[in-house]
Amino acid sequence: MFTQLSLRLRIFLFFAFLAVATSALAIAGLTLGYIRLGEDHALSAFVIAGLIGVVAIFGLTTWVWVLFDENVARPVERLAADMRARAHADVEQEIDHAPARYLGDLGTAAAAVTANLTETRNAMAMAVGRETARLSLEKSRLETLLAEAPDGVLFCTPDHSVVLYNARAVEILGHTEALGLNRPVRHLLMPGPILQAYTRLLEAGETEGADILCATRRGARLLEARIRLLYLEGQETSGPGYVLSLRDVSKDLKVHAERATLLDRLIDATDDVLPALPEPQKSTLSETLSDIAARKAATDTQWWPMEALPLTDLGAALRARLARKDVALTLDLPTRRIRCDGYAVTRMLERLALGWSGQGATAFTLRLAQLGDSAVTLSLESNAPAPDRSDLTDWLSAPLSPGFASFSGGDVQTTHGTRVTLGDGAEGRSALQFSMPLAAPKQTLPARAIQYDFDLLHADLPKELSQAPLSKLNFVIFDTETTGLNPQVDEICQIAAVRVVNGRIRPDERFDMLVDPGRKIPTASTAVHHITNEMVQGAPGVAEALTRFHRFADNNVLVAHNAPFDMAFLQRREAEIGLRFDQPILDTVLFSAILFGQSAEHTLDALCTRLAITIPEDDRHTAIGDAIGTAAAFAKMIPMMEAAELPTLGATIAAFDRHARLIGHLN
C-alpha cells in the first residue's frame, strides 16, 4: 500500500509516526513516574511536564521534518524527475545538482550518469545515422539493379514462399493475384522441377546453381529458369533460401517446333514421294518445297536471342576487338538501333576483317551504306582489292571462337536472315556488305518497382496457426460496396483489398475491381459510394470477381471493418463458385472494442480519428479507400494488441468472445 504513495508523503508519515510514538512514550513514562511517586498534589506538575514534552517533541520533529523535506526529499524527487526526463524525453542539458548539495555525491553522480547517457546516446545516434545512410544506399542500389535486371527474379524461402520479386517477374508471370510477398511459388509455377532441383542442390551442397525448365500455372508458358541456393550467414531457418531467375522461352520453343515440323515435312516429301512420282506429281512436290522454304525463311531470325543494339555500340565493340590485333577501324555510323545478336555479329565482322587484313587490307571503315524503312545495309570497306568469293566462303565457314566451335559466320547469316556479299564502297573502295533489321522504336516504360521483405527469410510460423504472432501473419484487409444493405437480396458492385505482411502495409499488392451486380444500382446507394450503372457495364460478374478475390486472399487471414456484413456477401456465393472462404476472419470493430472499451465509438471514422489516420474525402466510402484506411488502423493496432498481452491469433480470437454482444465474430 505504501509503495503507491509519493516519497515526500511517506517521509511525512514517518516523522508523524515518530512524533506520536515519542509523545506516547513520554506520557507513558510520566504516568509511570506519577504512580510510583504516589502523591496526589504532584499531578498538575506531571501534566504540565507532559504537555511541555509533547509540544517540544512535535515541534522538534516538525522542524527536523521540514529540514529533511527541504534538503533531502524534495531534491531526491527533483533529481529523479531530471534523470527520467533525460532518459526518456531526449533532454540534453546538464542536471543542476546544487539543490542536492546535502545529498553528498548523489547529485554529482547523477549528473555524471546523465551526461554519460547523453554522450552515449548521441554517439549511438550518429553511428545509427551513418549505418542507416549506408544501408539506404545499398538498398537503393539493390532496388535499381534488380528492377532493371533483364530477367525476372524471385527470392524464395526454404518453404518455397516469395520474399522478393522484381518488375520483370511481374511481366513474365503476368499480373496475377497469386503473385505477392510470402505467397507460395507453387501458385505461380509448376513446382515439380523447382522442388527436384532444390533438393538435388541441397543434398549436393551446390552453390553454383542449375538451369531448369518450368511452366507457369497461368497460361502454361514455358520458362527458362536458373535456381541458386542462398547460404546466408546467420540464417535462422532450417535450410537455405534460393533465387530463381526467369526468362520466357515459350515463343522461341514455338518457333523451334515450327521449324522442326517444316523440316520433317520436307524430309518426308523428299524421301517418300519424290523418287516414285512421275513428272506432274514432282511439280506438286516442288511447290510444297517452295512453300516450306518460304515459311522456313520467315522463322530464321526468330528463334535466336536478339537485342536492340545501337549501331554505334556495335562499331565501338568491333573497333576495340580489332585494336587488340593492331587493326585500325574508322566508324561512320548513325545512332539507329538494329535487332541482332551483338556478340555474334561482332565476332563475324572481326573474322572477316582479320581474314581480309591477311590479304593486305588496311584502314578499314564500317559505315551505313543504305537506310531503309525496316532494315539497314552495313558496309565493311578497305582500299585493298576485294577478296575472292571462295575466300569469303572460307572465312564464313570458320568457327567464330573456340567457345563457339559449332557456330560459324554462316550460322550468323542464317540466324539473322542475311547474306554477306561483295560490293562497291564509297570512293571506289571494295566492300563486304550485309543487311540487318531495324529494331522497334524504344518504348518509355513506367518506373519499375521492387517488392521485398528479407525478414521473411528468418520467419518460421508455428504449425498451430493459433499460436502465431499477429505481427508474423499475412492479412488481406478488404471492403465491399454493394447495391444495398441486405446480403440476401443485394449484390456486390465493388470489392477491394490490400495486403499486410510482416506487420506492414503493402500498397502495391492490392485488389481493386468494379463488379457487375447483375441488377440496377439504386440511386440512394450511388449517392453513398458514387458507383453508377454505367461504371459497372462490362465489368466481371460477381462469381468471376469472387473467384479472383479468393485467389488473391488464399493463405491469408481476412480482415474487415464490421466483417459479418461483408462476409455475408462472400459466403452466399461459395456454393456457386465452388470455393470456400474458410480462413480466420478478424474484425477491426472488435479490435477497437478490446483496446478502447465497448463504450467508445467504433465506426471506421472514429477509429481512424483516434489513431491519427486520414482517409482522403474522395476515397471515403470507396472500397479501396476504406480498405487502405482499415489496413492502416489494423497495422497500428497490432503492436497495441501485443502490449495488451494478446499477441497471438488464438488469444485475439478468444478475446473476441468477451465482446460478442457488441458484434458477433465468424471464427
| Catalytic residue list | 621
Of 205, 422, 434, 437, nearest in space to 302 by CA: 437
Contacts of 410 (CB under 8 A, 6+ apart): 396, 397
Measured CA to CA in angstroms, residue 428 lies from 93, 311, 383, 387, 421 at distances of 87, 24, 8, 15, 16
Q: Which residue has the cell 542536471?
A: 95
Task: Say if strands 557-560 and 585-587 run parallel, antiparallel, or are unpaired.
Answer: parallel
SS3 350: helix
Contacts of 272 (CB under 8 A, 6+ apart): none
For residues 173 and 542, what is the distance between their CA atoms, to the nearest angstrom? 25
Q: Which residues of 474-507 are buried (b: 16+ CB within 10 A; e: fewer)?
A: bbbbbbbbbbeeebeebbbbbbbbbbbbbbebbe
For residues 286 and 292, what is the distance between their CA atoms, to the nearest angstrom? 10
Q: Which residue has the cell 462469381?
A: 543
Contact of 347 with 416, CB cutoff 8 Å = no
For residues 566 and 548, what is the distance between their CA atoms, to the nearest angstrom? 16
Q: Which residue has the cell 506520536?
A: 20
Dmax (CA) for the chain in angstroms is 167
DSSP of 467-529, one letter per residue? GSBGGGSEEEEEEEEESSS-TTT--EEEEEEEEEETTEEEEEEEEEEE-B-SSPPPHHHHHHH
Neighbour tally for 643: CB within 10 Å: 9
| Cell numbers linked to 263 | 523440316
Of the CA atoms within 13 Å of residue 599, those in its CB half-sphere come to 0
Contacts of 209 (CB under 8 A, 6+ apart): 201, 226, 227, 228, 229
- H helix runs in 530-664, sequence order: 542-553, 563-571, 574-577, 588-596, 604-610, 623-643, 649-656
DSSP of 159-196, one letter per residue? TSBEEEE-HHHHHHH-S-TT-STT-BGGGTB-HHHHHH
Measured CA to CA in angstroms, residue 17 lies from 9, 10, 49, 74, 549 at distances of 12, 10, 21, 20, 73
